[in-house]
Amino acid sequence: MSCRVSPVGIFDSGLGGLTVYKAVRELLPSEKLIYFGDTARVPYGTKSREAVISFSKEIAGYLILKKVKMVVIACNTATSLALPEIRRMAQVPVCGVIEPGVKAALATTPPGGRILVIGTNATVASHAYEKALHRINPSVEVMEQACPLFVPLVEEGWTDKSVTEDAALEYLSPYLSKKINTLILGCTHYPMLEKVVRNIMGSKVHIVNSALATAYAVRQILEKEKLLAPQRCRGTDRFIVSDSPGHFSVMANRLLGLSPQKVMVKRF
């Protein structure tokens, strides 16, 4: 049965946040979800700090007008740069993807271990992961590598192309001799390249996909705030993009097996 409950709003620069959406949907089948992909302005990782904050606040404001009960920033770049701003403007709980990923990484990294964070230019330049990791455990050694080609390659659906493997090898080969314990996929697009990354880094490196960790954090926050939808409710989904709804639907199906029935367009 459907219920009169407010939705959870999830947003990303494009397709990447669908990894978070999928994890939240599987964990919380009773919730109403609204997903916004800013496909007109993807990628965020090459944009200025001011632009990312402006875009993120614009989308968060739009979701708040939709009466969401929570905002999930399913984008590492937006989380690293705009999370405090969005928390200040929102009257509802706000969850990013960095803190859940950090906690998941530290849970599998030995004391004094080495963690490699790969992300967009903006995320790496912010050092948001390094700061968050060291706040909890100053003993770990953190290395960071920007992989700016990964997002456009995923958005093109080129996850299994040789050009993607070549780019990954170029980015990651300097770390093969560094005895990395844990690698954080510091962008929600990157889980779609996890196989490529694992083939290069080897089976001994633990790879953290923050999508599932974020889904658990969302559930925890909703429980704490007494906002969880009753289990008897039937979850619903709304997909909204800022451009190219057809391409979004095709890529969502090809990359994640999702089949959005109707994708709305909202242009800013």
- Tokens representing 68 are 């969401």
Catalytic residue among 75, 95, 147, 233: 75
C-alpha 87, offset from chain centre: 17
Which residues is 264 bridged to in the sheet? Answer: 240
> Coil, strand, or helix at residue 191?
helix
In this structure, the answer to whether residues 85 and 218 fall within a common structural domain is yes
The pLDDT value given to residue 2:
57
Question: Which parts of the chain register pLDDT below 70?
Answer: 1-2
DSSP letter at 40 equals: T
The pLDDT value given to residue 1:
54
Would 174 be classed as within a structural domain? yes
Total domain count, the chain: 2
In this structure, the answer to whether residues 110 and 187 fall within a common structural domain is yes
Torsion over CA of 223, 226, 229 and 231, rounded to 10 degrees?
Answer: 70
Q: Closest Cα to residue 121, out of 102, 142, 139, 147?
A: 147
Catalytic residue among 3, 95, 147, 187: 187
Structural domain boundaries, residue 19: 8-96+212-265
Question: Does the active-site annotation cover 187?
Answer: yes
In this structure, the answer to whether residues 105 and 198 fall within a common structural domain is yes
Q: Closest Cα to residue 117, out of 91, 79, 155, 83?
A: 79
> What CATH number is associated with residue 40?
3.40.50.1860
pLDDT digits (tens, 9 = 90+) for 79-137: 999 999 999 999 999 999 999 999 999 999 999 999 999 999 999 999 999 999 999 99
What is the C-alpha separation between 226 and 236, in angstroms, rounded?
A: 20
What is the C-alpha separation between 69 and 228, in angstroms, rounded?
A: 10
Q: pTM of this prediction? A: 0.93
Phi-psi region of 219 (alpha: psi -120 to 50; beta: other; left: phi over 0): alpha
Question: Does the active-site annotation cover 147?
Answer: no
